[in-house]
Amino acid sequence: MSTEEIPAESTKIIQKDNDILISVPDGAEEPTRRQPKRKYGEQTITGIIVGQGDNKRVIRLEDVKSLSELHLTYKDMAAYFGCKETTFKDHFHQEVEMGRQRTKQRLMNAMLQNAIDKNQPTIQIFLAKNMLGMSSEPINNDDTQVLPWLDDTPDAS
């Protein structure tokens, strides 16, 4: 922080051990909290290299799998990793679809467990309608139609 950034003339700037402290007079707004000093380092990432030139990125497969299990769109995942949607889809289509299928399988397992083991009727009805093709509305077709009643049948007299 430099002295040019302090607008008030009555503000005191005190420097102590590489930290700059600002004394704010009564009635004035306190300055916003400063970010702590950040430490930067390097780490080797194992993943798939996508993009070219300045847009080159290394994307970990574990990250793609975890985001795809959340059913994020390709656009959202590409934005998260900072690459184009088409590039992301070209490189990770198989992993994304497998992650989405895993989520569907886990959801179906949970629904079946709730329906069968915990006897929750709402889920039982939903699954019966969707998996077994059952319906709460009667279907009128030739197989389920009631036979007509005939009044003009000859009497056996």
Of residues 152 and 46, the one with the higher pLDDT is 46
**pLDDT tier, 90 (very low <50, low <70, confident <90, very high otherwise):** very high
Q: Supply the pLDDT for residue 93.
A: 97
67: pLDDT strictly greater than 70:
yes
pTM for this model (two decimals):
0.59
* Helix, strand, or coil (residue 93): helix
89: pLDDT strictly greater than 70:
yes
**CA distance to 94, 103, 140, per residue, from 106 (Å):** 18, 5, 36
142: pLDDT strictly greater than 60:
yes
118: pLDDT strictly greater than 90:
yes
Average pLDDT over residues 135-155: 71
Of residues 63 and 14, the one with the higher pLDDT is 63
**pLDDT tier, 16 (very low <50, low <70, confident <90, very high otherwise):** low
Average pLDDT over residues 84-92: 95
Q: How many CB atoms lie within 10 A of CB 48?
A: 13
Helix ranges restricted to H, 33-83 = 61-69, 74-81
What is d(CA 23, CA 11) in angstroms, rounded to the nearest whole number? 6
